[in-house]
Structure 1
Amino acid sequence: MNMLFRHGEFNNLSFAFPNGNSHYNFPNLFSASYVEGYSEGGNKTFNIMCHHMHFKFTEVEKVMPSDTFYFTILRNPITQMESLFTYNKASEPFRNAKSLEDFLKNSSAFYHANARDSYVAKNLLTFDLGFDPNGLGTRKNLKLTWQTIDTIFDLVLITEYFDESLILLKEALCWSYEDILSFPLNKRSNTTKKALSLEAQDKVKSWNNLDWQIYVYFNNSFWKLVEKFGWERMQREVNKLRMKRDEMAKICLQGEVDPKQLQDKSLMPFQSGLARILGYNLKPGLPTTFELLCKRLVTPELQYGSLLHDNQEGKQTPS
């Protein structure tokens, strides 16, 4: 998201911002009416749509141009489930569970499909992509899901292979290494992470069976794309990206810190649940040529979104 924000800002592109929120009325299914400034039959053009949504393609395509490039990213459902439990401990499905293992052992007591925030606790990938998280895991249903995602999305990235994913994205969009530069954002402190036993991991796979099957399918598809791209070429490009990232980190960063140690409180990441989200302190006296880029690279999603929204509003306001 930070990369898309920067690309839009530095290239004077327009964003399809959520109407009065940081997301498109999530967890409701996306509607074109949730986009600020959209009107049916209007002539307003949007270049980038990247805020969190409960995806519905027929509504998104009302807003975006016909030649829009669609891409998404999937995360391993095992680590995602551990993260979701930590971030959303106060939500109804997790509130009374002593631990994630307790939730998985007694899911029928904690999970109620019709609860408003039930989406955080079962098949979130499936839900986010617009499918029924409580649907059947039959071969036909899974095949239909894979085919639909394959048809809509031009590229499906994998979180666990983020750098390789960025190289494929760079290739598809004809971007530069500067476009795909990034530092890890919304990163939890290790003190709030918990390793899951093999038994718990198996239970996550079973509980989130739809997510697991989607992840396995697109993980396989991803490596076929890498093979087509070229293994040696991929390694060279990944090494170059990491070198550029290290160079930029030396220029920009004093270090990654606990939120209490942040010197610039305007760069405070949103804190949620039991998680402690780390931030960055920038080096003082940054060279003028790098000052803006360094700051943008570490600006959290909410602050950056608000800044871009205000800038876009200002451009649209008659002088």
Structure 2
Amino acid sequence: MRKTTNFTFIIFSFTFCCLKRSQTLRINLHSEDNHCQPRNSIVLAKTHKTGGSTLGTIIARYGYGRNLTFALPSTGFILGYQTFSQEILLRQPTDEGFNVLVNHVPFHRANMEKVMKPTDQYVTILREPVSLREIKAIEEELDLVLIADYFDKSLLLLKKMMCWKFEDIMFIKKKQRRNVSREPTRIEQANAIRK
């Protein structure tokens, strides 16, 4: 007989993941939640060198498998480094808006809301939130912040928030960086300067 383990993740601004209003999620690791409907609209605010490509692939695979609509760049593979606006998209959204945005683009929620479905969930992934002040600003804009160092656990939170299945969050790591050439984090740099 398989033992069921329940975990409760209470999210504070300084722990591994951030949810709006410090939500509590109960996650049963051995069963699916059959009481919720999958959410099919998501915006990934990609960040560099944090696992954003892997997370983007998971979200894109989910969207392609369900024939969802994507906000795509008019040229190339990235939306660019200018402020997000409708003008940089390949096509304009329908009245309902797009389901998925996973391309590299500076985050601007107000402009993104103009082209995305109103039910979109806004997520990102960070390596290490540096300061409590930064996390508070992020919490106001995003529905979920995944932490790269806790990627698997963060994916469980994403699964729960989106009412997805385990097969929806399965992945193969991409662009994995070796620690030997790792640059110091901002916290390590700050500690070195203090010494």
Q: For residue 76 of structure 1, report the CA deviation from its aligned partner.
A: 3.1
Q: For residue 43 of structure 1, report the CA deviation from its aligned partner.
A: 2.5
Instruction: Render the CA deviation track for 1:140-184: whole Å, top value 9, x for unaligned.
Output: xx74x5443212211110000000000000010111110000010
CA distance in structure 2 between the partners assigned to 1:204 and 1:38 by the alignment: 44
Any residues of structure 2 matched to 1:114-153 within 5 Å, and which? 143=133, 145-153=134-142
Residue 12 (structure 1) aligns with: 67
CA distance in structure 2 between the partners assigned to 1:187 and 1:162 by the alignment: 12
Q: Does 1:167 align with 2:151?
A: no
Q: Does 1:194 align with 2:181?
A: yes
Any residues of structure 2 matched to 1:52-71 within 5 Å, and which? 52-71=104-123
Q: Which amino acid aligns with 1:170?
A: K
Instruction: Render the CA deviation track for 1:221-246: whole Å, top value 9, x for unaligned.
Output: xxxxxxxxxxxxxxxxxxxxxxxxxx
CA distance in structure 2 between the partners assigned to 1:196 and 1:67 by the alignment: 38
Change in 2 beyond 3 A, CA 1:204/1:51: farther
Contact 2:59 2:102 (C-alpha < 8 Å) held by counterparts: yes
CA distance in structure 2 between the partners assigned to 1:13 and 1:203 by the alignment: 43
Q: Give the TM-score taking structure 2 as reference length.
A: 0.61
Residue 155 (structure 1) aligns with: 144
Change in 2 beyond 3 A, CA 1:205/1:152: farther
Which one of the candidate residues 5, 20, 23 is aligned to 2:78?
23
CA distance in structure 2 between the partners assigned to 1:197 and 1:206 by the alignment: 10
Q: Which has the higher contact order (CA 8 A, sep 6+)?
A: 2
CA distance in structure 2 between the partners assigned to 1:205 and 1:156 by the alignment: 25
Percent identity reads 32
CA distance in structure 1 between the partners assigned to 2:70 and 2:63 by the alignment: 7
Q: For residue 197 of structure 1, report the CA deviation from its aligned partner.
A: 7.7
Q: Which amino acid aligns with 1:55?
A: F
Contact 2:80 2:104 (C-alpha < 8 Å) held by counterparts: no
CA distance in structure 1 between the partners assigned to 2:103 and 2:188 by the alignment: 32
Contact 1:38 1:44 (C-alpha < 8 Å) held by counterparts: no
The count of aligned residue pairs is 138
Any residues of structure 2 matched to 1:1-319 within 5 Å, and which? 1-26=56-81, 28-38=82-92, 43=95, 45-76=97-128, 143=133, 145-188=134-177, 190=178, 193-194=180-181, 202-203=188-189
Contact 1:73 1:157 (C-alpha < 8 Å) held by counterparts: yes
Q: SS where residue 121 of structure 2 aligns? A: coil
CA distance in structure 1 between the partners assigned to 2:173 and 2:153 by the alignment: 15
- Higher gyration radius (CA): 1
Change in 2 beyond 3 A, CA 1:205/1:73: farther
CA distance in structure 2 between the partners assigned to 1:195 and 1:21 by the alignment: 29
Residue 117 (structure 1) aligns with: none
CA distance in structure 2 between the partners assigned to 1:10 and 1:148 by the alignment: 33
Q: For residue 206 of structure 1, report the CA deviation from its aligned partner.
A: 7.8
Contact 2:73 2:79 (C-alpha < 8 Å) held by counterparts: yes
Instruction: Render the CA deviation track for 1:164-223: whole Å, top value 9, x for unaligned.
Output: 0000000101111100000101124x4x8325689x96326689xxxxxxxxxxxxxxxx
CA distance in structure 1 between the partners assigned to 2:135 and 2:128 by the alignment: 16
Q: Give the TM-score taking structure 1 as reference length.
A: 0.39
Q: For residue 63 of structure 1, report the CA deviation from its aligned partner.
A: 0.8
More strand by share: 2
| RMSD over equivalenced CA pairs, Å | 3.0
Structure 2 portions without partners, runs of 5+: 1-55
Q: SS where residue 160 of structure 1 aligns? A: helix
Structure 1 portions without partners, runs of 5+: 78-124, 126-136, 208-319
